[in-house]
């Protein structure tokens, strides 16, 4: 089981709320840094290991700066994410640019920054060549199709829109070799929130064998393999964290059996994790606004799916603590909801909690990845602030809450007067 103990007190949250009203996302910097160190220590046994933080999970430059200080690069998938990396001081081959259906301007910006460009489709080779020119180093994303199972979040590889087939990889690398590309990488991403460590070892084995086959046939040498991300977190208290060291040792064994045995070393090992890096260290703090008793008992909060989409669209579990009532028995069954005009705007269904009263503060756990990042403005809901809890227990606002003026900023309200 994993502990759902909080890294802050009710008094600290009250202090923050006095300055920044709920709802807001709160991130534990100390927890993020300590986790980053554990990951580096475990995977440090692998050749040239590098983690590229998946910016999509938590696109905030303060978090990116923290992770840069811990030695992480940035996995980017759009122009704004590339610009965030640049503004944070992450440039060159510390950026992995993995996109799909990619516009020319994003390829040009990635090349300008010296990022590693990871192509999603064989047609993108010629598109990149025409629009920006082929760089010296190119990576391609592999879709293993029926050779690998996916999961409910990312889908099965055969149904996924991502990546090259095996045959397309041989064709693509041959073309780039003949066009003068000198340096090569290989990438895949076939799981999301996967808790079985053996899954990642098997993925590494699949990629190592493919690298051996391509190298043998085409006479090219790969500099790195990116195993993707997808390492899951224990959202439920009864689940266990994924042991980093088990993955790392398993990958190291397959590396020796395949890469070293075929004379293909050194081959650097990369990851692009997001969820496991920041997910457990984020919390959505929300205040109970109303209680409703009809056919079920409802706890209405001042947050909504606009702040945390995962429970509504995936049916995902997020643990909930009633702040100050951690030691009380969960004797009452509630649906915990937001105020959107959608019936799936629920953080929990039939959740057993201590008795909840108006004004109670709820802590929704594990929102440090794909929480704020997936927010939206349906029903005119304004996106919340992001607060960073520092290791010395001080706190800083790292993104302010949206205002109504922000919501209207892209509308030509002055033009409305002359519109008929």
Residue 127: CATH number of its domain: 3.20.20.10
In a domain, 416, yes or no: no
CA–CA distances in Å: residue 6 to residues 13, 26, 51, 281, 364: 11, 11, 27, 10, 11
CA dist 277 and 125 (Å) reads: 32
Q: Please identify which of the residues 37, 76, 139, 341 carries the catalytic annotation.
A: 341
Asked whether residue 178 falls in the same domain as residue 196, the answer is yes
Asked whether residue 69 falls in the same domain as residue 83, the answer is yes
Domains held by the chain: number: 2
Asked whether residue 189 falls in the same domain as residue 126, the answer is yes
CA–CA distances in Å: residue 202 to residues 207, 209, 261, 271, 381: 9, 11, 18, 15, 43
Residues 310 and 370 sit within 8 Å (Cβ to Cβ): yes
**Side-chain half-sphere exposure of 175, counting CA atoms within 13 A:** 16
CA–CA distances in Å: residue 301 to residues 8, 180, 287, 337, 361: 21, 58, 6, 6, 9
The answer to whether residue 140 is catalytic is no
In a domain, 76, yes or no: yes
Asked whether residue 290 falls in the same domain as residue 329, the answer is yes
Closest CA to 8 of 300, 282, 235: 282
Residues 270 and 51 sit within 8 Å (Cβ to Cβ): yes
Phi, psi torsion values for 88, nearest 5 degrees: -85, -5
| pLDDT recorded at residue 146 | 74
Q: Name 364's bridge partners.
A: 284, 320
| pLDDT recorded at residue 276 | 98
* Domain end point (choices 222, 242, 277): 277
CA dist 139 and 225 (Å) reads: 9
pTM for this entry: 0.95
| pLDDT recorded at residue 161 | 76
CA–CA distances in Å: residue 130 to residues 108, 123, 125, 135, 189: 11, 11, 9, 12, 27
| pLDDT recorded at residue 1 | 83
Asked whether residue 284 falls in the same domain as residue 273, the answer is no
In a domain, 6, yes or no: no
CA dist 144 and 370 (Å) reads: 25
* Helices and strands, counts by H and E, the chain: 13, 17
- For residue 141, the enclosing domain spans 29-277
Residues 63 and 70 sit within 8 Å (Cβ to Cβ): no
Asked whether residue 287 falls in the same domain as residue 266, the answer is no
Asked whether residue 301 falls in the same domain as residue 157, the answer is no
Burial class of 295 by CB neighbour count within 10 A (0 to 12, 13 to 18, 19+) = exposed
For every one of its 420 residues, what pLDDT tens digit does the chain have, with 9 covering 90 and above? 899 999 999 999 999 999 999 999 999 999 999 999 999 999 999 999 999 999 999 999 999 999 999 999 999 999 999 999 999 999 999 999 999 999 999 999 999 999 999 999 999 999 999 999 999 999 999 999 876 565 555 556 666 778 999 999 999 999 999 999 999 999 999 888 999 999 999 999 999 999 999 999 999 999 999 999 999 999 999 999 999 999 999 999 999 999 999 999 999 999 999 999 999 999 999 999 999 999 999 999 999 999 999 999 999 999 999 999 999 999 999 999 999 999 999 999 999 999 999 999 999 999 999 999 999 999 999 999 999 999 999 999 999 999 999 999 999 988 998 898
* Domain end point (choices 277, 307, 333): 277
The strand pair at 332-337 and 385-389 is best described as unpaired
* Domain end point (choices 222, 245, 277): 277
CA dist 217 and 381 (Å) reads: 55
What is the C-alpha radius of gyration for the chain, rounded to an integer number of angstroms? 23
Report, in this order, helix, strand and coil percent for the chain, each rounded to 5: 35, 25, 40
User: What CATH number should be reported for the domain holding residue 284?
Assistant: 2.40.37.10
In a domain, 420, yes or no: no
Asked whether residue 188 falls in the same domain as residue 313, the answer is no
In a domain, 10, yes or no: no
In a domain, 22, yes or no: no
Asked whether residue 77 falls in the same domain as residue 92, the answer is yes
CA dist 318 and 106 (Å) reads: 35
Asked whether residue 127 falls in the same domain as residue 245, the answer is yes
Asked whether residue 309 falls in the same domain as residue 200, the answer is no
- Give 77-84's long-range contacts (Cβ < 8 A, gap of 24+): 78/106, 79/105, 79/106, 79/109, 81/55, 81/56, 82/106, 82/109, 82/110, 82/113, 82/115, 83/109, 84/55, 84/59
In a domain, 391, yes or no: yes
Phi, psi torsion values for 322, nearest 5 degrees: -85, 110
Residues 314 and 153 sit within 8 Å (Cβ to Cβ): yes
In a domain, 239, yes or no: yes
Asked whether residue 186 falls in the same domain as residue 312, the answer is no
Phi-psi sector, 16: left (phi>0), alpha (psi -120 to 50), beta? alpha
């Amino acid at each position: 089981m994993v502990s759902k103990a909080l890294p802050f007190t009710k008094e600290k949250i009250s202090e923050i709320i006095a300055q920044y009203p709920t709802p807001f996302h709160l991130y534990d910097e100390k927890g993020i840094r300590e986790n980053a160190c554990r990951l580096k220590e475990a995977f440090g046994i692998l050749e040239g290991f590098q983690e590229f933080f998946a910016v999509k999970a938590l696109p905030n430059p303060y978090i990116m700066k923290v992770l840069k200080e811990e030695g992480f690069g940035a996995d980017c998938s759009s122009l704004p994410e590339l610009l965030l990396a640049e503004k944070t001081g992450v440039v060159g081959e510390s950026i992995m640019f993995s996109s799909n259906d990619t516009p020319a301007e994003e390829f040009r910006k990635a090349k300008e920054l010296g990022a590693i460009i990871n192509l999603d489709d064989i047609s993108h080779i010629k598109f990149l060549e025409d629009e920006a020119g082929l760089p010296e180093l190119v990576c391609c994303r592999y879709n293993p199709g029926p050779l690998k199972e996916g999961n409910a979040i990312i889908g099965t590889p055969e149904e996924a829109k991502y990546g090259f087939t095996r045959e397309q990889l041989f064709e693509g690398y041959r073309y780039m070799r003949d066009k003068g590309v000198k340096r090569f990488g290989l990438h895949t991403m076939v799981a999301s929130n996967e808790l079985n460590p053996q899954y990642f070892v098997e993925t590494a084995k699949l990629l190592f064998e493919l690298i051996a086959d391509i190298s043998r046939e085409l006479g090219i040498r790969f500099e790195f393999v990116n195993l993707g991300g997808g390492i899951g977190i224990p959202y439920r208290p009864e689940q266990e964290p994924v042991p980093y060291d088990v993955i790392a040792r398993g990958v190291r064994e397959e590396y020796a059996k395949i890469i070293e045995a075929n004379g293909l070393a050194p081959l650097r090992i990369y990851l692009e994790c997001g969820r496991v890096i920041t997910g457990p260290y984020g919390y959505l703090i929300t205040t109970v606004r109303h209680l409703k008793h009809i056919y079920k008992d409802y706890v209405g909060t001042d947050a909504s799916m606009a702040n945390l989409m995962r429970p509504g669209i995936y049916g995902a579990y997020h643990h909930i603590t009633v702040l100050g009532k951690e030691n009380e028995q969960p004797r009452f069954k509630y649906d915990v909801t937001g105020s959107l005009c959608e019936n799936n705007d629920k953080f929990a269904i039939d959740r057993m909690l201590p008795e909840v009263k108006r004004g109670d503060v709820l802590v929704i756990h594990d929102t440090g990845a794909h929480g704020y990042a997936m927010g939206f403005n349906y029903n005119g809901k304004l996106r919340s602030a992001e607060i960073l809890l520092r290791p010395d227990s001080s706190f800083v606002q790292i993104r302010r809450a949206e205002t109504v003026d922000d919501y209207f900023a892209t509308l030509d309200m002055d033009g409305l007067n002359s519109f008929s």
